[in-house]
Amino acid sequence: MANAPREGRRERRGGAEALSSIGTALTDLIASESGEKASSVRRPIRYVRIAFVALAVLFFCRLVFLQVIVAPTYTAMAEESRTINFPVTPKRGTIYDRNGQILAVSVDCTTIYCNPSEVTDARHEASMISTVLEEDAEYYEGLLSREPSTFVYIERQADAEKAARLKEMELPGIYFIADSRREYPNGGVGGQVIGVCDVDGNGITGLELQYDELLRGTPGTYSAERGEKGAPIPGGVHEDTPAIDGEDIMISLDIRMQTKMEEALEQGILSYEGEHGNAVMIDGDTGEIYAICSYPYLDPTDRENSLIGSDNLTAITQAFEPGSIFKSVSALTVLSERALEPEDVIFCPAGLEADEYIIKDAHERPDVEMSFATILNESSNVGISLATQEAGFDKLNAMIERLQITQKTGVDYPGEAQSVMPDFNEWAYVTGCNISFGQGLTATPLTMARFYGMVAADGLLCQPHFLMAKPQSGEWMEYESEQVITDQEALDKLKGMLQGVVLEGTGKDAEIEGYDVAGKTSTAEIAEDGGYAKSRYNLCFAGFIDDSNSNLALFVSANEINYEGRMASVFHDIMLEAIDLYNIVPVK
């Protein structure tokens, strides 16, 4: 191969010299002939000679053009016409949970293809193939009879053992390529978080998509030279470029916790005859997401039977009006401004006039006096509106901005929803009241879980995330955190009030014997057509175990339920599992 360039130059130089000689001869001939005073009888002979030389020059130029100038192009075209090229899919990196359990892995398999022009008996071969693979014989006969094609997939990413059995049959025109496919050892558990890949090994949802560039590696190339009828030439099958496998990742998910969460959330939603819901468990100290799911669930191993929308992790990708669990934000504002103490009593009318509207509590009641703690215990809309007014709606707006509630969290998951809230300059009196009890603004379940994690972690706001480490390189990821609340007195008072919600208020079903559970319920109305739907609610509970060695926060919800209810019992069941898994103990 090293001599090829020099030979090409010699050919071109030799052609040029010959062409120059012919040109010189032609010039001399014309000159000598024109100088002669030949007779008219000999003149036709001169013209024939001139024409002959001119044709020779044209022929030679064409020969040089074909053999020297365009020869490489024609050679490449000829090689392409007798070569089949395939991409070689690299093995995707393995996804591990926080304990090293495999969540997604690429396993060896075989892609089977055929050259229909080589098939001698399509019906017979199809019958033989159907005894090994899943489709019926008619399906395979159609593939084997697809002429004039010389390449047809029989099955991509087939089981390696089945492919080996088929290979032993030595059927004419059937060929095999080593391949890999994605498998999910835990079935549908965590499927929405992990995501799925297409047949070419590209991530299309979830973390498979988020970290596709890291996981997928670099594809290689494979080629097979074929003869006149498309049959591979012996020795002509080779790997041109080897594939480079993808990198492994370890994520914060705990598949044990994820399993329990999915079971408990599904039971809770079905008990209310619901169809949708979310749950999020996050560590307030680190931002690590231990478990997260949105019902109905996605099973990556059975995508054909998965429900529409099940691949959507709405706990991250869909914002909603949080309702009464947002009252904790307002309460923190009031406590931080020292506008009220938990034991302070204020007059709460049955209805509060707000511009042209009347604000009422969820249940009819007379005019009463309530302490600030009781307002939170009983989840009074009127009471929290008046309490927040004492602090100032501008202070509530500032608190919302400080806690980044209407900002995206930056979680490493595709499609995070953007929360919305009117600009403070546009707030009317009724706007401030509505926002104080969680209407008129939106947030994602993840955002609300992070808020309660912040309270548990004494004012530390951490970026939620999944990716923890890259095991092959030994790299551990670092994420931002910020001390957004430094008023420990206000935080302690809020925690005490949230404990009261569980002990004396609407969250009694969340109580766990021997632990100080702190949290807040919500039976939120659903915005619809410029107003709110009748008799349809989003039921939520968010909280944590106070005075313990853990700052895990948990959010649970059942969405679009046709009657009022509580999700505190679902919180109880999931958090009880966390106590056992992580050895959570009280710390006084």
Strand pairing class (276-283; 289-295): antiparallel
Where helices occur in 171-273 by DSSP H, the ranges are 191-194, 206-210, 212-216, 255-271
pLDDT band at 3 (very low <50, low <70, confident <90, very high): very low
Strand order in the sheet with 276-283: 289-295, 276-283, 552-561, 531-546, 516-528
Name the residue ranges covered by the structural domains of the chain: 4-81, 84-251, 255-299+322-582
Lowest mean pLDDT among 274-288, 440-454, 529-543: 529-543
Distance CA 203, CA 82 (A): 33
49 pLDDT above the threshold of 60: yes
348 pLDDT above the threshold of 60: yes
Going from the C-alpha of 290 to that of each of 98, 201, 282, 376, 520, the distances in angstroms are 8, 27, 6, 28, 21
Lowest mean pLDDT among 242-251, 277-286, 418-427: 242-251
pLDDT in tens, 415-459: 999 999 999 999 999 999 999 999 999 999 999 999 999 999 999
Lowest mean pLDDT among 73-87, 251-265, 269-283: 73-87
Distance CA 586, CA 550 (A): 9
pLDDT in tens, 501-523: 999 999 999 999 999 999 999 98
Distance CA 388, CA 397 (A): 11
Whole-number pLDDT of residue 8: 43
pLDDT in tens, 181-209: 899 999 999 999 999 998 888 999 999 99
The strand pairing partners of 241, in sequence order, are: 221
Residues 6+ apart with CB under 8 A from 175: 112, 113, 114, 115, 224, 232
Mean pLDDT of 533-559: 94
Mean pLDDT of 229-251: 71
* Topology given in CATH for the domain delimited by 255-299+322-582: Beta-lactamase (3.40.710)
62 pLDDT above the threshold of 80: no
> 202 phi and psi, to 5 degrees?
-100, 135
- Token output for 311: 């691949």
Which of 38-72 are b and which e, b meaning 16 or more Cβ less than 10 Å from the residue's Cβ? eeeeeeeebeeeeeebeeeeeeeeeebeeeeeeee
Percent of the chain with pLDDT over 90: 66
Establish how many alpha carbons lie within 13 A of residue 567's alpha carbon, considering only the half-sphere containing its beta carbon. Answer: 36
pTM over 0.85: no
* Topology given in CATH for the domain delimited by 84-251: Penicillin-binding protein 2a (Domain 2) (3.90.1310)
User: Which tops the pLDDT comparison, 177 or 256?
Assistant: 256
